[in-house]
Amino acid sequence: MVCFQSEYIYVEYHAEDKILVCQWYGGCSSLQYRQALIKSMRYAKQFDVDYAVFDRRLLPQISEEDFDWTLDFMYKTFHLLPLKRFASVSSFDVLAERQQQLILRQNQKLPFEVRSFGDLTSAYDWLVSGS
Higher pLDDT, 56 or 130: 56
Are 102 and 64 in contact by the 8 Å Cβ rule? The answer is no
Are 114 and 104 in contact by the 8 Å Cβ rule? The answer is yes
Are 20 and 11 in contact by the 8 Å Cβ rule? The answer is yes
pLDDT at 72 over 90: no
Confidence (pLDDT) at 76:
81
pLDDT at 105 over 80: no
Confidence (pLDDT) at 22:
97
Higher pLDDT, 57 or 103: 57
Are 37 and 76 in contact by the 8 Å Cβ rule? The answer is no
Confidence (pLDDT) at 17:
94
Q: Largest Cα–Cα distance in the chain?
A: 37
Cβ burial, residue 62 (10 Å; 0-12/13-18/19+):
buried
pLDDT at 75 over 90: no
To the question of pTM greater than 0.85 for the whole model, the response is: yes
Name 79's bridge partners.
none
Confidence (pLDDT) at 107:
60
Least confident of 31-40, 62-71, 80-89, 103-112: 103-112
Read off the pLDDT of each residue in 24-35 and give the average, rounded to a whole number. 95
Domains of the chain: 2-129 (3.30.750.24)
**What's the whole-number average pLDDT of the chain?**
91
